Structures are given as C-alpha cells and as structure tokens.
C-alpha cells in the first residue's frame, strides 16, 4: 500500500493463512478468555498489551508468600527485595542479549529518555539529529539540547512510504558529524505507522562517531532485538507494551562504553555513594543505581522476569510471524472495502512491503464523495461496538504533519500568533484536518476480531460525511 488512496488492488487469489492458529487460539482461551467473555475487540496493542492470567496469578502468589522491604539496606526483607531485583535485571539483559549494557529501571520509556536528555553533554558544539517520525518523548530531548546552545535537525521521512530518506540522512550524518558531536535518534518501529526503520543506521551513525538513541518501545513487543549485533548507546523500553503487566515500569539500557558520558545534573536518594552537607559535595554510584532515583518499585519489578519468561515460552520468532500475518490479512481485507461507486472506504499509510511493517498501521476513512470522516467520529462509533482502536496524532506530530500536508509556514504562523493552543484550535486556524485512525494487532488477535472490524468499517459504505456533522 502506498501513501495514496488504495489504488493498487491485492489479487483476489492471494491466500493469507494465520500461522500457528491452533496454538494461539488455545493460548487465547487459556490466558485471555476475558476478551471473548466481555465481547471485546481489542485493536490497540501498541497503546498497551494485554496481560495473561498466568502472569497475574504467579505474581499474586509471589507477593502473598513473601515479605519484602525497601532494598536500600541489608536486613532480611531488604536483602530479599534486592536479590529479586538483581535477578530481574539480569533477565532483562539476557532477554536482549545485552552483555555489554547496564540496565537502569525506570517508570517507563519516557522517563528513560529523560535521563538521556538531562544527562547528555549538550553544548554549543553538539547537534541532535532525529527523524520526523519520533515519539514526543524523543522529540522533547531537543529542549535540553537547545537550552544548552546545541543545534537540532529533523530528517523528514518520505511522503510516499513514510520510510527514511536514505540519501538525505547519509548526507546530514556525514557532514554534520565532521564538525560537531552528534546524538542521533530514531525508532526501530514507528509507534504510529508501524514502519520498521532499518537498524543498519545504528552502525552507520556510530562509525561516523555519533551517539545513538534507538527507541525500541514499539519494536520489542513483536520483534527480536539482539544487542550483541545491534549496539546503540541508549535504548528505552516499556515492559507493559510487551506483556501487559506491570504498568509503570520500563528501563534504559546504556552501553557500558557510554555510561560515563552521561553527566547526571543532580543526585537523589539511592543514587550516591557519599554525600556531605557541610562540604556540599557528593559522589554518585558507578552502577545502574546512579540513575535509579529514590526507592525502586521493588514489589512489581520481579513480575518483569515472569513476563519475559512467558514471552520466551511462546517464542519471539513465532510472535513476529503471527503478527506479520495478521496485519497483512487485515490490510488485505480492508483494501477490498469500497463504496458502491468503486471509491475506497479508507486508505492505509505506509509501505506496500509488509516485511517493513510491525503490528500497527494508520488509516483515514472516506465517504462516498471522497471526503474524510473526522477521526473522533470513527473512534466514538467503534466504541459503541466495543471495539478498541485509537485516533489522533499518537504523540508523534511529525508523521501527521507529513500525511496532512501541513507546511512549516502554516505551523509557524499558528505558533507565533498564539501563546497557548490545542488540537482543535490548530485545525480551525490552519483549515486542515489532522489525525488518523490507528489499528494495532497482537499475537492473540484472531480472524474474528478482523472480521468484526471490517464489518464496522463497512457501516460507512455509501455514507456522506456531512450526515454526521
């Protein structure tokens, strides 16, 4: 599928069969039966994964059978907490084959990125280069850079397929790294479009002397990340996106060679080896504790180990294959939905090659006259059917600005004429629709979920968008 309205037909003869359907059907019955009992159609896996019953029951028993204390001590309950945290930390490193990394537990991927932003040695001789396809938690690092006199450069993705403009990126990284220290950031998988950006850019940038942030939050739930092969400097991860529970926990994986490069601008409880009030001096720890402010969530961190073991029991390769097949089947079925006049009911953004996609994709709905339906309307009507999808810009304004053809001049005009603003005000000011519909599948998504969503889309057949205003 191109970034145009679906003009290219997928042949009717194409057969797409769900891989390991019997296995995943049984898994859904055993661990996720509440989905069907509640008649839910859950298509928001990029927003958050669904936890298996096994994980909750195992952690519940773990908590009830043990006594835990704040880990910053050597008493029995504290020592017990520290031991389970250490086991989990090692499990995370093993899961990603990250023997050359330090695992810092955080509240989420956003908090992990903030650690990099506030601690990276930005100055007037540094530059932050990043794709226009980035989550706002990555975009926000630019403020640390700008506030310290550094430069910020965005590399736009291509309009027609939302993939990296390779010649432009090569040019910028090569030329700019000659005169400045560069921090380069890109997502392994777009949280909006599902596009998987080539991981070769990690080695390419590092060979030029750049430091690299690889945002892996949307990638690792359905794809294998082997950090013995791909070695970025900083990788943020959220665990609930992988296995659903616990929420409020993530990590920052820091390459050991890059650990000392981060200069923490303050200290807190648990991050220091020594502090003096009279001398007003301190020594930070030289381990992961340096960036783990305050008391860790010692009651929930052990559940991460259980979650990773659950994923391993299925197999990441099996998960990847399953999700790839499901999202391709969904796109295939959606491409067949048209109005009576032959015009498509929707368009899907992104590359035609599904090997370059993850489990999420965005789309716009069109009426019989080719006018766009408001995204909020789509989500509201889906909710009435107990279908969970997501609409908006998904904390990734760069992709939406490209898809909606919003110019820099239009955006600058809005920001310079306003001291405050929001989504609806900007749409009114610019006069262009913003946002899209995101559908994201997981390994427990089945063909019935797909059929129900397609039936929902079909309800817009031959409708006029003006009827819903």
Residue 58 burial (C-beta neighbours within 10 Å; 0-12, 13-18, 19+): middle
Contacts of 44 (CB under 8 A, 6+ apart): 388, 389, 390, 438, 440
The token pair at 357 is: 């996609």
Q: What are phi and psi of 327, to 5 degrees?
A: -70, -35
- Residue 210 a catalytic site member: no
- Residue 76: Cβ within 10 Å count: 10
Q: Prior bond to 246 cis, omega within 30? A: yes
Sign of the CA dihedral running 349, 355, 360, 365:
positive
Please give the DSSP secondary-structure letter assigned to residue 261: G
- Give CA–CA dist 144/271, Å, rounded: 22
Hey, is 427 helix, strand or coil? Answer: helix
Q: How many CA atoms lie within 13 A of 4 on its CB side?
A: 4
Given 103, 145, 395, 405, the catalytic residue: 395
Greatest Cα-to-Cα distance within the chain, rounded to the nearest angstrom: 80
Catalytic positions, written as ranges:
395
């Amino acid at each position: 599928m191109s970034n145009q309205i679906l003009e290219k037909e997928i042949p009717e003869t194409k057969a797409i069969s769900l891989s390991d359907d019997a296995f995943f059907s049984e898994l859904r019955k055993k661990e996720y039966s509440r989905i069907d009992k509640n008649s839910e159609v859950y298509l928001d896996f990029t927003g958050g994964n669904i936890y298996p019953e096994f994980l909750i029951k195992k952690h519940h028993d773990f908590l009830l059978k043990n006594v835990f204390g704040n880990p910053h001590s050597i008493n029995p309950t504290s020592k017990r907490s520290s031991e389970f945290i250490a086991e989990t930390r090692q499990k995370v490193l093993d899961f990603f084959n990250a023997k050359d990394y330090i695992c810092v537990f955080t509240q989420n991927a956003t908090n992990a990125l903030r650690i990099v932003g506030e601690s990276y040695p930005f100055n007037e001789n540094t530059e932050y280069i990043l794709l226009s396809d980035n989550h706002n938690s990555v975009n926000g690092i630019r403020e640390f850079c700008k506030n310290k006199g550094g430069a910020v450069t965005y590399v736009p993705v291509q309009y027609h397929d939302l993939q990296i403009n390779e010649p432009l990126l090569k040019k910028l990284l090569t030329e700019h790294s000659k005169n400045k220290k560069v921090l380069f950031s890109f997502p392994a998988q777009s949280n909006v479009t599902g596009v998987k950006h080539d991981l070769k850019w990690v080695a390419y940038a590092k060979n030029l002397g750049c430091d690299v942030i690889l945002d892996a939050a949307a990638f690792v739930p359905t794809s294998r990340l082997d950090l013995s092969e791909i070695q970025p400097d900083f990788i943020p991860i959220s665990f609930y996106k992988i296995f659903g529970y616990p929420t409020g926990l993530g990590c920052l994986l820091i390459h050991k060679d890059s650990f000392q490069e981060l200069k923490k601008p303050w200290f807190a409880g648990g991050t220091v080896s020594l502090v003096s009030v009279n001398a007003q001096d301190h020594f930070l720890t030289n381990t992961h504790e340096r960036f783990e402010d305050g008391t860790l969530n010692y009651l929930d961190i052990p559940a991460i180990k259980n979650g990773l073991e659950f994923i391993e029991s299925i197999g990441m390769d099996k998960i990847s294959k399953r999700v790839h097949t499901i999202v391709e089947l969904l796109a295939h079925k959606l491409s067949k939905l048209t109005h009576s006049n032959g015009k498509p009911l929707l368009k899907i953004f992104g590359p035609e090659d599904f090997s370059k996609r993850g489990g999420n994709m965005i789309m716009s709905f069109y009426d019989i006259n080719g006018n766009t339906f408001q995204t909020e309307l789509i989500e509201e009507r889906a909710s009435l059917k107990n279908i969970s999808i997501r609409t908006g810009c998904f904390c990734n304004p760069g992709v939406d600005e490209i898809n909606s053809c919003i110019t820099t001049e239009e955006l600058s005009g809005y920001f310079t004429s306003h001291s405050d603003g929001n989504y609806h005000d900007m749409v009114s000011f610019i006069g262009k629709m913003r946002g899209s519909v995101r559908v994201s599948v997981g390994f427990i998504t089945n063909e019935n979920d797909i059929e129900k969503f397609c039936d929902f889309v079909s309800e817009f057949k031959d409708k006029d968008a003006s009827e819903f205003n």
